[in-house]
């Protein structure tokens, strides 16, 4: 099979028939063999009934996954990825803001140019500048700086992947924003982008919320930390815990030495407990100990994790 198209959705009943007809038209024009996997993320409208209707029309093409309640886009993509059978996997949103006309060129970049992943770049957008465009530019600039990936629109829903990429990454929580970074960490380094068309929403309401920008930065911090220290937490917590403990220990030694020196010189000196440096030193030693123990406990958990030796082997001969 040439292409698997994964469409996560939530309350998009009106747009689904239009989207599927458009996808079918493009696929037939280019004579692709394909499947469309609709992942219904706990919709409260009749989205699932529409999917069942489309399945009845083309049972060999349409597939559906239905969640019992709303889990989020990342679980939808993960389950969709695991179900794919095509050589190339395309993801797109169900709101008709992504154009299926882009699929052939994305497919060609994967198959002919040997990209592992191609991310869409909605260079010209029709969203509100204040509500989405400006925050999106700030967010993407930060993501580029911290991940090292020179993508203008990392969170674009329209992407193309080699099948092996989606089978070797785990999209969890709200990490769908950082799929290119997940792919990079999994060893798929040929990542590109393509300018794609952005369309105005025709049906339904936007799922946009300001909280996603806050969550996006928190998720990025989590991902960066896990990618670097996830399997060796002692290298982070143990290092900084040891440094903080030593700093506190040296400080308290200096405070004590000054007291003893004053006593030997028969000079009246204030009590050690009257010095603020004494309490700061104690605090540093306590925090250092706690950080070290955190790293130690982290090592115990990772050592007993079933994923500890789950290495991605590309080939064996």
pLDDT of residue 108: 97
Q: Which residue has the tokens 């190339």?
A: 88
Q: Which residue has the tokens 């692709």?
A: 32
How does DSSP classify residue 73? H
Domain ranges of the chain: 3-229, 234-303
pLDDT of residue 316: 53
Q: Identify which of 203, 269, 237, 268 has the alpha carbon closest to the alpha carbon of residue 50.
A: 203
Number of other residues whose CB lies within 10 A of the CB of residue 21: 12
pLDDT of residue 317: 46
> What's the pTM value of the predicted model, to 2 decimals?
0.74
Per-residue pLDDT of the chain (317 residues; tens, 9 = 90+): 999 999 999 999 999 999 999 999 999 999 999 999 999 999 999 999 999 999 999 999 999 999 998 998 999 999 999 999 999 999 999 999 999 999 999 999 999 999 999 999 988 776 655 556 677 777 778 788 888 898 988 889 999 999 999 999 988 877 888 899 999 988 999 999 999 998 876 666 665 555 566 666 677 777 677 666 666 778 788 888 999 999 999 988 888 888 788 878 777 777 777 778 888 999 999 999 998 888 888 777 766 655 554 545 555 54
Q: Which fold has domain 3-229?
A: Spore Coat Polysaccharide Biosynthesis Protein SpsA; Chain A (3.90.550)
Q: 289 is written with which tokens?
A: 């100990």
DSSP bridge partners of 7:
38
159-162 vs 117-121, strand pairing mode: antiparallel
């Amino acid at each position: 099979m040439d292409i698997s198209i994964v469409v996560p959705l939530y309350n998009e009943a009106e747009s689904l028939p239009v989207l599927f007809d458009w996808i079918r038209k493009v696929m037939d024009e280019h004579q692709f063999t394909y499947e469309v996997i609709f992942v219904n993320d706990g919709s409260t409208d009749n989205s699932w009934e529409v999917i069942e209707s489309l399945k009845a029309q083309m049972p060999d093409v349409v597939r559906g996954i239905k969640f019992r309640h709303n889990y989020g886009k990342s679980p939808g993509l993960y389950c969709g990825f695991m179900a794919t059978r095509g050589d190339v996997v395309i993801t797109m949103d169900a709101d008709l803001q992504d154009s299926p006309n882009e699929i052939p060129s994305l497919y060609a970049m994967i198959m002919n140019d040997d990209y592992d992943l191609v991310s869409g770049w909605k260079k010209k957008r029709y969203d509100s500048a204040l509500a989405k465009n400006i925050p999106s530019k700030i967010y993407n600039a930060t993501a580029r700086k911290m991940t090292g990936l020179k993508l203008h629109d990392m969170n674009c829903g329209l992407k193309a992947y080699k099948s092996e990429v989606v089978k070797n990454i785990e999209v969890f929580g709200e990490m769908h924003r950082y799929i290119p970074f997940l792919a990079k960490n999994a060893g798929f380094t040929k990542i590109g982008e393509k300018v794609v068309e952005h369309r105005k929403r025709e049906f339904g309401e936007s799922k946009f919320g300001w909280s996603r920008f806050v969550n996006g930065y928190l998720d990025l911090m989590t991902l960066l930390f896990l990618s670097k220290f996830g399997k060796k937490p002692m290298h982070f917590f143990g290092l900084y815990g040891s440094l903080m403990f030593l700093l506190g220990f040296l400080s308290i030694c200096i405070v004590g030495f000054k007291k003893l020196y004053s006593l030997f010189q028969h000079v009246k000196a204030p009590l050690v407990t009257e010095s603020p440096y004494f309490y700061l030193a104690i605090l540093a030693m306590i925090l250092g100990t706690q950080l070290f123990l955190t790293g130690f406990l982290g090592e115990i958990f990772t050592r007993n994790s079933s994923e500890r030796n789950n290495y991605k082997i590309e080939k064996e001969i």
